Structure formats: C-alpha cells, structure tokens
Amino acid sequence: MSSNLYEFKGDVVVCGSCLPYIHEEAFEKVKQLSKNIFFVCLEEIHMNMVAHKIASILRTGNVKRLFFVTVDRSPHCVQLHYIRLELAKIMNLENVVLKNYVVKDENLVEIPPEVISLSKNLHKIKELRSKS
C-alpha cells in the first residue's frame, strides 16, 4: 500500500504478498504477466482500503490490464478477487482488461468473474451441489 498510484502503468498485477514465498515457481509466471506488481495482504489491511487504492490507480487511466493473483483456498486472499466485483460497481472498467488467477500445482488458473460471484453465494453453491 506504500506505492504511489502514479507508479503503475500498462499492465499491473495485484498479488497476495505471501505468493512469492509459498509458490516460488508460480510467482515466476506472475512476473511474466507484468513487472508492475502491487503486493497486498488482506490479513493486514482491510479489503475496502485496497479496493479504494486500486480504484485510484485505475482512475489515472494509465492501467490497461489488471491481474489479481493469489494462492488458492485462503479465506483472506479470496477477498482480493472480490475487489474486481466491487470495482465494477463503482466505476467504468470497459477500457481495462481484468483477469483473476489462483495458483494450483504451481500453475496460474484463470477464474472467471461468474465463479468469483458464485463463491459469495453459499446457498447457490449448495443448490448446485444438490442438483449433481
């Protein structure tokens, strides 16, 4: 959170700060997405503060692609993916490509926005499981 919002241009990765230590190999793949990496830990800072900072970064108009990348199965890191949904509610994102990834077996697995949205609706997941 100590980075200045004007530092970010082009492609930006918002990354869980633990990822480089937990998944070194996957983090090498993250660095191929962009050298502009914004590290955050949602155990240390509230999601709303991070969302506001990212919205401010996007407001500059300098960011063309924004990637969210986290470890999988973390109750804290999953919130980072929800920021995408919150940003879409408060601002026009048509000029920004947004992608979300989690790490599985040292690979980046893209998570579609529908899945992120569904993960916030436990009753819908229960209904889907009941049908199968």
Q: Which residues of 24-50 are buried (b: 16+ CB within 10 A; e: fewer)?
A: eebbeebeebbebbbebebeeeeeeeb
* Contact criterion met (CB below 8 Å) for 126 and 46: no
Domain of residue 70: give its range: 6-131
* Contact criterion met (CB below 8 Å) for 98 and 66: yes
User: What single-letter amino acid sits at 79?
Assistant: Q
Question: What is the tens place of the pLDDT at every residue in 47-96?
Answer: 999 999 999 999 998 999 999 999 999 999 999 999 999 999 999 999 99
Tell me, yes or no, if the pTM score tops 0.75: yes
* Contact criterion met (CB below 8 Å) for 69 and 13: yes
* Domains of the chain: total: 1
Q: Residue 120: inside a domain, yes or no?
A: yes
Instruction: Give the CATH number for residue 109.
Output: 3.40.50
Q: Residue 1: inside a domain, yes or no?
A: no
Distance of CA 73 to the CA centre of its chain: 14
Q: Residue 90: inside a domain, yes or no?
A: yes
Q: Residue 33: inside a domain, yes or no?
A: yes
- 23 pLDDT band, cuts 50/70/90, is very high
